[in-house]
Amino acid sequence: MQDRSSSESPHGTTRKHSRSQRILLWIAAAFFIVVVGVFIAASILLRRAEPVLRARVIETLSARFDSRVELGYFHVYVLNGLEVTGGDLHLYPNDLDMQAPLFAVRKFSFKTGWRSFLHTPMHVGRVNLEGLALTMPPKEDRKNMPKMKNGEGGGKIQIYVDQLLVKDAKLVLETNKPGKTPLEWDVSNLALTSIGAGQPLAFHAILTNPKPVGNIDSTGHFGPFNTESPGDTPIDGAYNFSHADLNSLKGIGGMLSSQGKYVGTLNNMVVDGETDTPDFQVDTGTHPIPLHTKFHAIVDGTNGDTYLQPVDAQLGHSHIVATGKVVLVRGQGHQITLDVVVGPARIEDMLRLGVKTMPPIMQGSLKLKTKLDIPPGKVSVTQKMRLKGNFQVLDATFSNDKVQAKVDELSLRSQGKAGEAKKIDAQNPALIQSDMQGVFELGDSKLTFSALNYKLPGADINLTGVYSLDGNEFDFHGMARLDAKVSQMMTGWKSILLKPVDPFFSKHGAGTEVPIKITGTRSEPKFGLDFKHKDDKDSPGGSPNKTKDSNSAGKSSATKTP
């Protein structure tokens, strides 16, 4: 029997191949039709999706903010779900006559799926914004601010957003006051997460602080936003202010870091925090000293005014407590007004901070009360700073051996120990301690003393005068009351010769009472008698002085103690 396969004709094989080719052609044609249909459908959907989404965006913003919406450009891409980009977005409140838009967005984008697109309202996970500007009208006009709606009343909210990521934002508070400039805050990055309708927004913001220059990283909750009174909007959170360069503030320097928490409303935030500046310095001293503070403050976030209640600081080995306020003077800067109490403290800490010369001229314990006023202005902090108060220094000694030697000699001679005084020199000071108290004012980098009492064993000295913070000027005049008589302050034949004049200088219960002066510079101080400045008025110590001026006595050596 002949094999069946071998008996098939070539014509049968040809028919099979032809049938296979037709099937492949039909499959290819169907695939092509499907592809074309998909593209046609995508094109139709794109044409429909773009205007639909554009309308939803405009309708949602218009309903939520009761505003007229202008949208410059808007594009939709469908290759990977729905990708949307747009920009030149502006919102103008219907009930406010604003030249600038309430909201302005340079560029925005978001993605969503087809399933979300087919539902109303549509859900969007995240919206990215670049170049957001929020311009609030003057305070007087904010009562007409649109009330933001969340759609819970069945309004025209067409899109709900879970999260806003904002890059390069600015908040501007306008003012109607002539000559006043608007307040502005720059926010480099901001993330807002919706918790629910009518609930506060969770936020994470990085703000650029202009002065001192640095970034503030803050997380917390904001809202619900009070459109009629933005200052009453609730807020709470925590912040971290790092690498703040104090050198951007004229007159002071160092790198500051700060951490803290805040709670309240925009115009009444209660802030508790700490700062650390390991290298704090001022330009009159340029000697770094560690500064740590803890503070409790009330901050008005709508104008930047800060009320310190109080600041508790540790400067080196010195304790400082300050209360007061930092108030913005529009167009000029901030006015700082504080009541300051210093103590327990060390006078060398203050001198190291404020005086260029090292080591500090004096060591000793310090107590001080003063009012501090720093007006606004572009000049150095130390040049515009004003102080007015009183102080007390106990157990003081001088680092300058020449000064200390003269103090030692004065004390010993004033006690009638002239023999011991002769042995004192700059290489062998006795380091006799003294006390000082007075009433002072600081201005224009000079300390002016309206009363300065200096006590040391054997002597009570009352002075008035001026001391420059750079140490280049001493100019003090006053009265010295000494325990010893004039003749007792000398030895040998000088003592005998001076005995007749003892009665002329022994007054008001003192062994000797004479006018003195301290002049010169820190490195070359000059001590001497000062009969030229002597008058008939009460002396600084309260004792009447009725001896007439003596030009001849005024020629006494300016470099020797009485």
pLDDT tens, position by position, 140-175: 666 666 665 554 444 466 777 888 899 999 888 776
Nearest to 86 by CA among 62, 45, 125, 50: 50
Judge whether residue 551 has pLDDT over 70. Answer: no
Per the CB < 8 A criterion, the answer to whether 188 and 217 are in contact is no
Helix (H, G, I), strand (E, B) or coil at 289: strand
Domain boundary at 175, 199, 223, which?
A: 199
- pTM for the full predicted model: 0.74
Query: Reduced to 3 states, what is the DSSP secondary structure of residue 209?
Result: strand
Report the helix count and the strand count for the chain, using DSSP H and E. Answer: 9, 24
Tell me, yes or no, whether 344 lies in a domain. Answer: no
Q: Could you tell me which residues come within 8 angstroms of residue 291 by beta carbon, excluding any fewer than 6 positions away?
A: 254, 275, 276, 277, 278, 280, 313, 314, 315
Structure tokens at 71: 């949208």
pLDDT, tens digit (0-9, with 9 covering 90-100), for 327-347: 877 667 778 999 999 999 999
In a domain, 468, yes or no: yes
Are 393 and 437 within 8 A, CB to CB?
yes
Domain edge (last residue) among 157, 173, 199: 199
Residues 87, 75: contact at Cβ < 8 Å? Answer: no
Is 224 within a domain?
no
Round to whole Å and give the CA distance between 365 and 371.
20
358 in a structural domain: no
Domain assignment of residue 94, yes or no: yes
pLDDT tens digits, 80-131: 778 899 999 999 888 777 778 888 999 999 988 777 776 777 788 889 999 9
Answer for the pair 559, 528: CB distance below 8 angstroms, yes or no: yes
- Whether 236 is covered by a domain: the verdict is no
Q: How many CB atoms lie within 10 A of CB 109?
A: 16
Give a yes or no: residue 260 inside a domain.
no
Residue ranges making up the domain that contains 429: 400-555
Where a domain ends, among 152, 174, 199? 199
Q: How many domains does the chain have?
A: 2
Residue 149 in any domain: the answer is yes
Q: 464 falls in which pLDDT band (50, 70, 90)? A: very high
